[in-house]
A and B are shown apart, each in its own frame.
Chain A
Amino acid sequence: MPAYSHAAARLRGAARRSRPWLLATALLLTGCAVTYTDAMQQVDKDLATDQPQAALKALDKISGGKDQVLYLLNKAMVLRMTGDYATSAQVFEQAKPLMEYLEATSVTENAAAFTFTEGLRAYQPPLYERLLAHVYQGLNYLQMGQPDSARVEAAQIDDLLKRLYPNQDAAPNGGDAFPRYFSGLVYEDMGEYSDAMIAYRQAFKSYKAQGAGDENIPMDLQISLCRFSEFLGLTDELNDYKKRFGLTEWPPVDKQDAEGQLVFVFSDGMGPVKYADSSVLPDPINGRYYSVSLPVVRSRGRGQAYAAISAGEEHVTTTRVASIYDDAEQQSKADRPKLIAAQVSRDVARTVAANAADRKAAGLGAVLSLVASVADQADTRIWATLPDDIQLARLRLAPGTYDLKVQLRGRTRVLKGVTIRAGQMTFASLQWTSLN
């Protein structure tokens, strides 16, 4: 028999034996339905053209399965964009127990991730996403006029951090700065000024832990720290803040205030995405292939710009209180060592499998090694409907109903009929995802 016939026979045999492998690989590559990344591309397009209802339909294609938490978080966020805060709140509530359940380590998912690819794990939202879920849920309740329920969200932020970081009571690298700040606003709204002061103080510490100088602490937080340390008689602390921030006056804390306060939370743009930085490298000596595929965070920010807010004769510019890109980047850096360890584990598993395959049919090992290495892609899932950054502004206004004008990058949006009541805080929000 000529040499090429032997080779062809060997290849046919290898192909026959590799059928289960090819089937498994095909399953891996195609999944059960539309992938998260596919669906999110359509969601991005719909949101960029201001069509959140269409984005909701696109999202429904990924309902169920290992991306269920992501589906719920994205859905809740898009529902907020449609102004349906009640349904958004219901969806966030569905996501919460699932996030808690996924904290437990899965035996099968770990085995699959250490053998094949990271994407086989159910998506477990990182800490910053879990904290922001509580923040946006709190905003839902505030905008529905349910401050008690928003208070529950603030308490859940505290519980989560205490449970996950019992010794620090804070997220690593100041990751809880804005969630703490938001909690302070909620407690202030409830008239619980001691709790508000504690939360503002924690927010200040966390911004400092992020590396912010005193001048980079959000102005509204600077004022709040002075207001409440004065109100609560914390003289030494007040003097420290006055010195740090150079502030000499601020509005008094007064439940009988004749004016009301508008707190405007502005979510700018679309949050960061991840792409896979991959390479498949052949080993010329043993013919095996090794893959390196790690997720890299990419910002979708459109350049830093602050929103100008007008209500009646009053004007204010927002200040940045959170950068989602920075949060995602921090998380990505923290995850990298364990992702590299899992990658090494997968390369070893593939080599062992390829060696075993080669003992059955020479050449099959190289095929398996190549196919499995190509299929091993970094996990690029991320809660992508979060904004690029979060900005905040507070305005003191006379009681009445206002049309709130928001200007950014030369474009204007108007939020109609925002009611301000004497002595009360009113919360309004907007996420600007479109390019118009």
Chain B
Amino acid sequence: MKAPRLILATVSMTLLFAGCSSNPSVQRISPDQVTDVSGYWNDTDANQTSQEMIGQMLSEPWLGNFEGVNGGKAPTVIVGGITNLSSEHISTSTFIDDMQRELINSGKVQFVAGKDQRSEVRDERKDQDLNAASGTRSAMGQEVGADFMMQGTINAIIDAAGDTLVKYYQVDLRLINMHNNLIVWTGQKKIKKVVQRSGSRF
């Protein structure tokens, strides 16, 4: 009766693996550890991009040039649009926030709040006008204007053949002078990955 046993075993295994749930296993690891699971854009890519961009931004001449003509004043930057032209939903805020934090903490660059944050703060300021004690109010019209706007794009080229996938990401950032539209700095980070997919599963 080998054949029926074999068939019964197949059914049992299939029901076991396909039909029933199991508890997930969780392991805590360092946020710096590289964890490539699917080949999609992940925290490691965001981290590498922000580190590279920060290094490029702080080491290139635009910063010294600005400080030179403005008596050592740190330039003020506003984050504009970072357009995602790739075929993945990529959260740009992860590496932009990392960049902002490092640059602000370096003391060499300052940022003004972006569009959405500003509007919330302005609403609060309006509210203060009506409801806060006069000595504690923040007056309207005292905001700092940005010297530069940071814009950028994320692009990806994907090449696939069989179970192999090559992913090439290119992140480009640029700083545009708000007074005269001159592009004073461009930064670039390229990431290339080869993803080998399994053609079979259990």
Contact = CB atoms under 8 A, between A and B. Distances in A.
Interface of B is mostly: mixed
A355 B197 CA distance: 41
A105 B200 CA distance: 4
Contact of B4 (A64, A149, A357): A357
Contacts of B21: 64-65
Contacts of B1: 17, 356-357, 359-360
A352 B4 CA distance: 9
Interface string B9-49: 01111110111110000000000000000100000000000
Contacts of A289: none
A152 B15 contact: no
Nearest to B158: A159
A181 interface: no
A359 B2 CA distance: 11
B201 interface: yes
Interface in B58-112: 83-89
Interface residues of A, number: 46
B8 A106 contact: no
B199 interface: yes
B160 A65 contact: no
Contact of A115 (B10, B86, B87): B10
A109 interface: yes
A27 B12 CA distance: 9
A45 interface: no
Nearest to B4: A353
Name A's interface SS. helix
A349 interface: yes
A66 B19 contact: yes
Residue among A104, A156, A357 with the highest chain B CB neighbour number at 10 A:
A104
B198 interface: yes
Contacts of B13: 108
Interface in A336-386: 349, 352-353, 355-357, 359-360, 368
Given A109-B14, A148-B83, A152-B88, A65 B20 contact: yes
B3 A163 contact: no
A115 B14 CA distance: 12
A151 interface: yes
B160 A166 contact: yes
Nearest to B17: A108
A120 B202 CA distance: 13
B7 interface: yes
Given A21-B4, A104-B200, A104-B201, A93 B89 contact: yes
Contacts of B4: 20-21, 353, 356-357, 368
A109 B18 CA distance: 8
B161 interface: yes
Tell which of B4, B13, B15 has the most Cβ of chain A within 10 Å: B4
Interface of B: 1-4, 7-8, 10-15, 17-21, 38, 83-89, 158, 160-161, 165, 197-202
29 contacts: A21-B4, A24-B7, A27-B11, A65-B20, A93-B89, A97-B38, A104-B199, A105-B200, A105-B201, A106-B200, A108-B14, A108-B17, A108-B18, A109-B18, A115-B11, A116-B11, A148-B84, A149-B84, A149-B89, A152-B84, A152-B87, A152-B88, A152-B89, A163-B160, A166-B161, A353-B7, A356-B1, A356-B4, A357-B1
Given A106-B200, A155-B86, 6 more contacts: A108-B202, A112-B14, A149-B89, A155-B87, A158-B87, A349-B7
